[in-house]
A and B are shown apart, each in its own frame.
Chain A
Amino acid sequence: MSNFKLHFTVPGDDFTRAGEASGSVKKTLKDLGFNPEIVRKVVIALYEAEINLVIHAGGGEIDVEISPECISMVLTDEGPGIPDVALAMKEGYSTAPDNVRSLGFGAGMGLPNIKKYTDEMKIDSTVGVGTTMYLKVYTA
């Protein structure tokens, strides 16, 4: 299998569509025959990150590269940025407003969940400029 690349633009103003990119990646990985446990790890992490793009950053871009050994994901936004990444990584810490909580997110579990389900996670964030998140899940 040669490397497979996917790109998605995530709109920031439509919560009902959040998860479309993750669902599409899930279908592609299943069609390519990846182990269901690997597929689940990738899509749960990606889904949380996609939700973050919508609720915190006003949308963004997702690039996914699929090889037999590794699924790499890069999520880029031009949102407000994360002032303290270490604090944001703590379970239960959230800056989400009440309207986001009423939608079932914003419990401060997003970034910890992403870390739990990925093998590598790196966040580059500059306040007022945006955030780029690099994620990797290895298949073996």
Chain B
Amino acid sequence: MKVYEIKEILDAEVICGEEFMDRDVYTACGSDMMSDVLAYVKEQAVLLSGLVNPQVVRTAEMMDMQCIVFVRGKQPDQGIVDLAKDRDIVLMTTKQPMFASCGMLYEKGLRGGAMK
């Protein structure tokens, strides 16, 4: 799935990384616990989270994740946006809650990553 398809499916607003919308995403992970995210293998994944702090971007950075979607309309502050820009990570926000967001992406064929 392409990043721009995720934007369309979730009716999301792009906060930064507009130039990377053509990236491929193979798996997804929805979590507010960053240690749980770090416990799973995610190849070119999208992270959905209701947590808004710099560690969400750091976690995505360590995992080589392509894109972060903040659910329930959450908006990151400028420090978080600057960190994501520096790491070439796409940030989006959707008004959809976590459960619905995951379900909508799953319905369109996106799956979770395998446990290592």
Contact = CB atoms under 8 A, between A and B. Distances in A.
Interface residues of B, number: 21
Contacts, number: 69
A105 interface: yes
A23 B58 contact: yes
Contact of B64 (A16, A40, A104, A107): A40
Interface string A15-38: 110110011001000000000100
A47 B33 contact: no
Nearest to A20: B58
B55 A15 contact: yes
Given A105-B34, A116-B116, A43 B62 contact: yes
Interface residues on A, range: 20 to 34
- Main secondary structure on A side of the interface with B: helix
* Chain B interface, >50% SS class: helix
B62 A18 contact: no
B19 interface: no
The 10 lowest CB-CB distance pairs between A and B, nearest first, are A19-B58, A109-B35, A104-B34, A107-B35, A107-B33, A104-B51, A47-B62, A43-B62, A16-B54, A44-B62
Interface of B: 32-36, 38-39, 49, 51, 53-56, 58-59, 61-64, 79, 116
Interface of A: 15-16, 18-19, 22-23, 26, 36, 40, 43-44, 47-48, 51, 101, 103-110, 112-113, 116
Given A18-B55, A19-B55, A104-B59, 13 more contacts: A16-B54, A23-B58, A23-B61, A40-B63, A43-B62, A103-B53, A104-B56, A105-B33, A105-B35, A107-B35, A110-B35, A112-B39, A113-B38
